[in-house]
Structures are given as C-alpha cells and as structure tokens.
C-alpha cells in the first residue's frame, strides 16, 4: 500500500483518480478514523465488556448470596425449595456456613451495583468513542477535501518519512547513551 502510493507519487503522470483510490484504501487501513481502526476499537471494547462480566459460576454465587432470608427460608409449596436450601441439602452447608455466606450479602450486592455502574460507563465510553471517530472523520474529510489527491498523498508520505526519521534518531540516541554508559566507567 505505502509502496504503491510512493510509486504513484514518483510518477508525475499518475492520474488523480488512481491516487485517490489508493488514498481511500490507505485511510480505511491506517487512519485514526478508518474502518480497520474502528473495528479494532470495537473488538477491544467488546473484549473488555466480556471480561468484566462475571462467569456463570460467579453469577450463580452472587445470585444465591443476594437472596434475602424471606426468599431462602422456608420452601414455597408452589415453587418448591429455595436454591440455598437445595445447596444446603446437596452440598451439606452447615447453619454456620450459611450464616457466614449471609454476612456477605450486603458486600455482594454493592459489588453487583458497582459492576452495573462499570458496565454503564463502558457503554458510555463506546458511544463517546463512536462519536469521536465520527466527528474526527468529518473534520478530516473537510480538511482533505481542500487538497488534491496528489497533495494529500504527499502529506501522508511526508508524515511517514518524518516518523521514520524521528524513530531512527531516537534509536540512535538510545544506542549512544548505552555506549556512553559503558565507555565512561572504563575511562575512569
């Protein structure tokens, strides 16, 4: 992609339409507001949401502990025994273990509330990111529409060249500082 753009720019006879087509592909792949980048951001935000959600086992524990005494005490003749009473029978919870679990009810309810607030913040972040990318794309389109495809491609090429040069200058400075650290002690 970058080579193709470079070749088109080197050829003074390259048609503007061909340069524009390459620029469109470039924007979709590499620009801040491009499709590829938006898909990656959505993927990572979805992964974050998935990782924030409790597992089925954790949900079951949270739900069981969150039940108040009225729900978990005597079995309902219509609905049958409560989950806690089933667990008591099947697992063998003692009264003291059930009491200890019940002590954590308020903390677990707060934890669940915190999780709901965190997920709401994540949804708000998703909307904000989408809006930011939409506005940024619109502003960049306005700026880029003032340029011919060839001039736009030259600015992209210049940006890449300056990033390349600055990256190599930083690496050279890093190497120089390593050399200086090793040479100074030997000179003393």
Higher pLDDT, 44 or 146: 44
Higher pLDDT, 155 or 33: 155
Mean pLDDT of 33-46: 86
pLDDT of residue 44: 95
pLDDT of residue 159: 72
Helix (H, G, I), strand (E, B) or coil at 13: coil
pLDDT of residue 3: 60
pLDDT category of residue 57 using cuts at 50, 70 and 90: confident
pLDDT of residue 6: 61
Closest among 77, 55, 56, 70 to 105, alpha carbons compared: 70
pLDDT of residue 171: 73
The reported pTM is 0.57
């Amino acid at each position: 992609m970058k080579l193709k753009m470079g070749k088109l720019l080197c050829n003074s006879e390259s048609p503007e339409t061909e340069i524009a087509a390459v620029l469109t592909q470039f924007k979709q792949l590499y620009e801040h507001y491009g499709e590829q980048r938006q898909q990656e951001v959505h993927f990572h935000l979805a992964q974050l949401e998935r990782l924030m959600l409790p597992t089925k086992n954790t949900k079951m524990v949270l739900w069981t502990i969150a039940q108040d005494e009225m729900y978990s005490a005597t079995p309902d003749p219509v609905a049958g025994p409560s989950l806690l009473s089933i667990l008591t029978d099947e697992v063998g919870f003692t009264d003291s273990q059930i009491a200890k679990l019940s002590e954590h009810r308020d903390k677990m309810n707060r934890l669940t509330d915190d999780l709901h607030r965190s997920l709401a913040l994540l949804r708000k972040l998703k909307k904000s990111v989408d809006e930011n990318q939409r506005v940024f794309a619109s502003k960049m389109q306005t700026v880029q529409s003032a340029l011919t495809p060839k001039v736009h491609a030259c600015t992209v090429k210049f940006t890449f060249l300056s990033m390349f040069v600055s990256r190599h200058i930083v690496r050279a400075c890093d190497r120089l500082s390593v050399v200086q650290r090793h040479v100074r002690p030997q000179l003393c």
